[in-house]
Every structure is written in structure tokens, then in C-alpha cells.
């Protein structure tokens, strides 16, 4: 029988963003309807962050037996059972799935509807047998892969991050289109598991990041035998059998043949089937038209996560969910600050960043202080024989921290304290004053901050003050 629901908030999509919003809303005592047309957990759980990081973890174990000689341990070639690697990925998803399940959220008071939702008008959503008239709606439908405009491209014969985990066997030669974070993470993982890997991009690899920091990552990937071709335009793709492909380029490059092709060029908001026009919501191929509060042109309807252009960041998606719920329930001002969300590229070594890059900071501030400290000056790094990489901290002339980047081992774990520093408005003096555990890789951040104090101590005023105080014993 048809039913009518009138919750405080109706959330469309049960991925990282939608589940975060649902959890926050019921915690505050709001009534919530959650609509999901596919699997609970969305891309984050089934195709994105969780399975890709499980694959990376397996590849690191495959690489470890070859890294023993500096420690007096003989190198050995790993015996990779790709079926077992796939099972590890599936086991990881299965272990985490209950925390994202309909049963889990129903137990907390969320009304979960497993059906496709579409707007009937600006205040009504139809989903299955339910008519939902909510006070506010939140679109959290995630994103889908975007096919490249390449002659000969056949989506049916191309792998994406939604299908690559279903491969029955390890690719002999994997060609990846796109040298962004996701493309290079897959590249290193499959290379370490035993595949030949080529990566092609018509721009800079990791072009959204600081070139100084990406150089550390790209050098390691190339040393491991990954063929990374930057500024290379593909002119045509030719299918060779069921999976094989020939990639043709502009002049200067010979055609490249591989056993499998992986598309990693980007994703776009998944808005199909929502009937947004009926709700008065303006959108296009670029996505939704949103204001600074993540509201659509229908101010009853918000968008969060990938649907709002969060850039495939689970951290950003979850932050969106929490901020939107507070704005809806408490009328609090919603200020989205993308630079405050830390991001990590899970290659080995890792690249982690939070805040402004040097280029971004220079566009907003007349005078900057840029501080660096290498892993090579860390005792722990020498113990681990992992001395490549460094930290880079950008601050204003008064020492207020504007951004931090780390390229090196465990960078993702070390960025936490810099994310906190930015959130709390800390200065380089604050970061130089805390006690770092020894020996730890995190000491490089403290040492970078200390260089700011050393420079300040050499200023004429400081020297004169020290001279005066010296006279008093």
C-alpha cells in the first residue's frame, strides 16, 4: 500500500556523504528517511576507498619480500595468488558492510527505503511505495565514471574503478588512462602484484598537487618500472580481442598494446533519474548549481559529497553531511572550506596535504614563509631505511600556518596534527613547542617549525634583547 512520510530530512543516497548526514541527523533527534536505489555504503564501500586500499595493502605485502637486503634479509619474489587477493578485498568489504547496512541505520531510527527516488515537485519525492514530503531534502547520490572523448573508445571493453575488482586474473599489461591519484594508486598496486603497467595522461601526473611534492612520488613509481607518459594525447583506441587494446598517440610516440584498459580520468555527479526539473533544480553536464551553503536553486534541497563536486573525497563527503545537517536543524551558517579537508594519495611513498599549497597561498598573501625538513634528517627514517621525501609547511609572515604537505612514508598518518593546527589556527611557534615522541617520523614536522624560530632568533631585535639579558647573568 502507498504510504506518505513527512520526515525532517530526506536523504537520497546511502554512500559516505548520505550515511554521515543520516547519522548526524538522528543523533540530534531529527526524523530521517534515507533512500538508496543500489547498495548501502555506495561507491566508498563497494568500488572506491575501501576496496582500493585493500588492494594497495595486498600489494605492499607483495613488495616487502624484495626490500629485505638492506636489513640483511635476502630478497625473494612473491608468489601472488590473485584469487586470494580478490578474496581479501571482498572480506574487507564484508567486514565493514554491517556498519553501513540498512539494518544498522534502522536500529538508530532511520527509515530506509531501498528504491530509486525521483522528485514529483519541489517538496515531494517518490520512492517505491512511499511519497516523501520532507522539510528538507539532501542529494547524496555520488558520482559515476566519465568516458573520455577518444575515437574508438568502447565503454563495454574498458575497466573502471567499479569493475576492476571483478577481474578473474591479474592483467598481463594494464594500460591506465589518467595519472591522477586514483590512476597512480592502481598503477603501483598492480605493478607490485606482477603486472606490466603503463599510465597515460594529456597533462601533468598528479597535476592538482604541488609539483615539488609529486616529484618524490613519481620518481619512486618510475623506479618500480611503471611507464608514466605525461602530456601525451591519445588519438585512437583499437580493440584487440576481448580485453586487449592498442593505444595510438600523436607524433613522437609509438602505439602501445596492452591486455587491459582502465579508465581513471574522472567522475561526474550521478543525477540520472531524479527528475530534478520537476523540483526546480538547475543542473547541467557540469552538475548542480549550488550556492555557498550547498543549496540547490530549490532552497529546500541541498547536495553533498560527490553530488556537490567534493572530488571523490570521503573526508569531504562526511564533512558535508555533518555541516548540512547542522545548517538544516539549527539554522547555523554553513561555510564549506575545501582547503581544510586533508587529502592523501595512497601510493608508497604517500603524499598528504591540508590547507593551501604554496601557489594558492602566494595568490592570497604578499609575504610567505616556506619551511622544509627532509626525512633524511630523521633518526626513525634511517632505522627504517626510508629517507626519501620531506615535509613542506607554508605560513604567513607572522608564522600562522596556511598549509602543509608531506611526501614520504606514513605521510597520511603524519598529516593529522597539521590538520588540527589549521582547524585551531595554530602557529609555527605552537608546532615547535609540542613534545614529539622519539624516534618517530613525525619529528620532521617539529623540526620544520623550529627553523622558523631559528630565523626569528637571528633578527637584529632578538640579538639585541639577548645581549641585554646576558648582562644580567
Query: Would you call 252 helix, strand, or coil by DSSP?
Result: coil
**The predicted structure's pLDDT at residue 105:** 97
State how far the Cα of 458 lies from the Cα of 389, in Å rounded to an integer.
Answer: 28
**The predicted structure's pLDDT at residue 242:** 72
Residues 6+ apart with CB under 8 A from 277: none
Q: Is 41 annotated as a binding residue?
A: no
Grid coordinates in use for 103?
Answer: 539494518
**The predicted structure's pLDDT at residue 153:** 81
**The predicted structure's pLDDT at residue 456:** 61
User: Which burial class, exposed, middle or buried, applies to 458 when counting CB atoms under 10 A from its CB (0-12, 13-18, 19+)?
Assistant: exposed
In 162-202, which ranges are continuous DSSP H helix? 181-193
Residue written as grid cell 630523521: 378
**The predicted structure's pLDDT at residue 473:** 58
Strand-pairing partners, residue 271, are none
The CATH architecture one would assign to domain 3-40+101-145+268-338 is: 3-Layer(bba) Sandwich (3.50)
The CATH architecture one would assign to domain 349-460 is: 2-Layer Sandwich (3.30)
Q: Is 162 annotated as a binding residue?
A: no
Gyration radius of the chain's alpha carbons: 25
On the question of a cis peptide bond just before residue 349, with omega within 30 degrees of 0, the verdict is yes
Q: Is 117 annotated as a binding residue?
A: yes
pLDDT in 10s for each residue of the chain, 473 residues: 689 999 999 999 999 999 999 999 999 999 999 999 999 999 889 988 999 999 999 999 999 998 889 999 998 888 999 999 999 999 999 999 999 999 999 999 999 999 999 999 999 999 999 999 999 999 999 998 888 888 888 776 789 888 999 999 999 999 999 999 999 999 999 999 999 999 999 999 999 999 999 999 999 999 999 999 999 999 999 988 777 899 998 766 788 999 999 999 888 999 999 999 999 999 987 789 999 899 999 999 999 999 998 777 899 999 999 999 999 999 888 888 888 999 999 999 999 999 999 999 999 998 999 999 999 999 999 999 999 999 999 999 999 999 999 999 999 999 999 999 999 999 999 999 999 999 999 999 999 999 998 866 555 655 565 566 566 65
CB 304 within 8 A of CB 336: no
Q: Is 359 annotated as a binding residue?
A: no
DSSP conformational letter for 298? S
Which candidate, 440, 436, 142, 158, places its Cα nearest to that of 309? 142
Q: Is 48 annotated as a binding residue?
A: no
Q: Is 142 annotated as a binding residue?
A: yes
Residues 6+ apart with CB under 8 A from 354: 339, 340, 341, 342, 343, 403, 404, 415, 418, 419, 422
Please indicate whether the domains covering 155-265 and 349-460 agree at the CATH topology level: no
| In the chain, where the domains are located | 3-40+101-145+268-338, 155-265, 349-460
State how far the Cα of 3 lies from the Cα of 205, in Å rounded to an integer.
Answer: 52
Grid coordinates in use for 394?
Answer: 607554508
DSSP conformational letter for 317? H
Q: Is 182 annotated as a binding residue?
A: yes
pTM: 0.93
Q: Is 311 annotated as a binding residue?
A: no
State how far the Cα of 203 lies from the Cα of 180, in Å rounded to an integer.
Answer: 10
Percent of residues in the chain assigned helix, strand, coil, to nearest 5:
40, 25, 40
Q: Is 306 annotated as a binding residue?
A: yes
Q: Is 230 annotated as a binding residue?
A: no
Q: Is 424 annotated as a binding residue?
A: no
Backbone φ and ψ for 341, nearest 5 degrees, come out as: -90, 120
Residue written as grid cell 540520472: 272
Q: Is 274 annotated as a binding residue?
A: no
Strand-pairing partners, residue 263, are 177
- Assigned CATH topology for domain 155-265: FAD/NAD(P)-binding domain (3.50.50)
Q: Is 116 annotated as a binding residue?
A: no
Amino acid at each position: 500500500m502507498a504510504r506518505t512520510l513527512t520526515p525532517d530530512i530526506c536523504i537520497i543516497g546511502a554512500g559516505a556523504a548520505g550515511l554521515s548526514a543520516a547519522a548526524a541527523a538522528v543523533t540530534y533527534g531529527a526524523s530521517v528517511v534515507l533512500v538508496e536505489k543500489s547498495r548501502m555504503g555506495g561507491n566508498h564501500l563497494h568500488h572506491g576507498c575501501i576496496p582500493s586500499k585493500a588492494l594497495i595493502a595486498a600489494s605492499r605485502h607483495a613488495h616487502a619480500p624484495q626490500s629485505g637486503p638492506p636489513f640483511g634479509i635476502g630478497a625473494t619474489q612473491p608468489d601472488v595468488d590473485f584469487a586470494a587477493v580478490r578474496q581479501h578485498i571482498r572480506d574487507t568489504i564484508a567486514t565493514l558492510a554491517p556498519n553501513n547496512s540498512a539494518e544498522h541505520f534502522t536500529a538508530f531510527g532511520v527509515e530506509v527505503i531501498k528504491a530509486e527516488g525521483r522528485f514529483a515537485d519541489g517538496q515531494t519525492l517518490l520512492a517505491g511505495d512511499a511519497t516523501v514530503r520532507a522539510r528538507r531534502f539532501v542529494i547524496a547520490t555520488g558520482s559515476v565514471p566519465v568516458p573520455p572523448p577518444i575515437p574508438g573508445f568502447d565503454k563495454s571493453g574498458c575497466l573502471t574503478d567499479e569493475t576492476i575488482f571483478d577481474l578473474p586474473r591479474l592483467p598481463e599489461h594494464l594500460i591506465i588512462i589518467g595519472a591522477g591519484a586514483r590512476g597512480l594508486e592502481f598503477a603501483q598496486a598492480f605493478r607490485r602484484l606482477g603486472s606490466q603497467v603503463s599510465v597515460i595522461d594529456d597533462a601533468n601526473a598528479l597535476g592538482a598537487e604541488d609539483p615539488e611534492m609529486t616529484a618524490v612520488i613519481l620518481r619512486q613509481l618510475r623506479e618500480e618500472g611503471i611507464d608514466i607518459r605525461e602530456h601525451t594525447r591519445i588519438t585512437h583506441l583499437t580493440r584487440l580481442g576481448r580485453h586487449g587494446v592498442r593505444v595510438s598517440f600523436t607524433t613522437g610516440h609509438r602505439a602501445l598494446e596492452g591486455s587491459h584498459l582502465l579508465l581513471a580520468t574522472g567522475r561526474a555527479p550521478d543525477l540520472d533519474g531524479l527528475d530534478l526539473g520537476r523540483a526546480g533544480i538547475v543542473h547541467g553536464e557540469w552538475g548542480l548549481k549550488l550556492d555557498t551553503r550547498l543549496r540547490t536553486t530549490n532552497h529546500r534541497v541541498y547536495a553533498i559529497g560527490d553530488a556537490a563536486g567534493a572530488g571523490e573525497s570521503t573526508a569531504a563527503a562526511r564533512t558535508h553531511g555533518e555541516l548540512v545537517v547542522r545548517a538544516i536543524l539549527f539554522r547555523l551558517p554553513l561555510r564549506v572550506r575545501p582547503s581544510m579537508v586533508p587529502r592523501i594519495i595512497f601510493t608508497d611513498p604517500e603524499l598528504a596535504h591540508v590547507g593551501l599549497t604554496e601557489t594558492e597561498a602566494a595568490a592570497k598573501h604578499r609575504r610567505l614563509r616556506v619551511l622544509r625538513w627532509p626525512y633524511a634528517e630523521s633518526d626513525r627514517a634511517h632505522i627504517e631505511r626510508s629517507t626519501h621525501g620531506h615535509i613542506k609547511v607554508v605560513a604567513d609572515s607572522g608564522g600562522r600556518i596556511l598549509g602543509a604537505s608531506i611526501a614520504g612514508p606514513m605521510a597520511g598518518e603524519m598529516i593529522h596534527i597539521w590538520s588540527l593546527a589549521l582547524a585551531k589556527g595554530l602557529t609555527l611557534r605552537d608546532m615547535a613547542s609540542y613534545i614529539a615522541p622519539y624516534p618517530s617520523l613525525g619529528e620532521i614536522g617539529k623540526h620544520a617549525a623550529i627553523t622558523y624560530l631559528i630565523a626569528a632568533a637571528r633578527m637584529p631585535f632578538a640579538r639585541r634583547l639577548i645581549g641585554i639579558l646576558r648582562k644580567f647573568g
